Amino acid sequence: MQRLKSLTAISFNKTLGRTGKVWQSGFHDHALRHEEDLKAAARYLVANPLRAGLVKSLRDYPFWNAVWL
């Protein structure tokens, strides 16, 4: 996870011409055991940009209509 976060942060910052943190210091993992769990997790993930204030509406997020929703 650390390697993924490091490589993507370097790439994002280079692309955006900036420096600084991209990711929070920790992460949370959760095993998905049932189809209902997958739908709930997908809805949570798709809503993250809205909760973070990166988009004004879920429709502004390009992956809001993922197949799991």
Domain boundaries of the chain, sorted by first residue: 1-30, 33-69
- Residue 57, pLDDT score: 87
Using a cut of 0.75, tell me whether the model's pTM lies above it: no
Q: Which residues contact 19 (CB under 8 A, 6 or more apart)?
A: 13
Over the stretch 13-65, which tens digit does the pLDDT of each residue have?
999 999 999 988 887 777 888 877 888 888 888 888 889 888 888 888 877 77
H-type alpha helices, 17-58: 35-51
Calpha distance 54→12 (Å, rounded): 15
